[in-house]
Amino acid sequence: MMTLTRNTNRKQYCDYCKLRWGQMKDGTWHLKAQTPAVWRCESVMPGRKGRVRFYCQSCADDVQNWNVKVNDRGDVETEFWLLKEQLEYAKGQGRLEDVRSIDL
């Protein structure tokens, strides 16, 4: 089961930005790591019980490039799928038992 909702806590930073930019030597977050999260995504699946992730809009756009292929010429081709479309696809493939709410 997965829920995707808008994040209302302006002091919650994007998990991907924190991972990309990290902390300074004094322990404070890099300025670019302090990007407020727009989306809250919670997964409740075997092995991921209650995992919550937060994304800013820019990082949410990055994770939407879900299907990457390399053609015969070696060029990278990506398919752009909205998070809502990814959830519906995964649900149809039996990867998700239930998609409870999607507030986009």
Is the pLDDT assigned to residue 95 strictly greater than 60? no
pLDDT value for 30: 93
What DSSP character marks residue 36? B
Domain ranges of the chain: 1-60, 64-95
Q: How far is CA 101 from CA 30, 60, 88, in A?
A: 33, 17, 11
pLDDT (tens digit, 9 = 90+) per residue, 35-79?
999 999 887 766 656 778 999 998 887 776 656 667 788 777 766
- What pLDDT score was predicted for residue 93? 63
pTM exceeding the 0.85 threshold for the entire prediction: no
Tell me the backbone φ, ψ of residue 94, rounded to 5 degrees. Answer: 80, 10
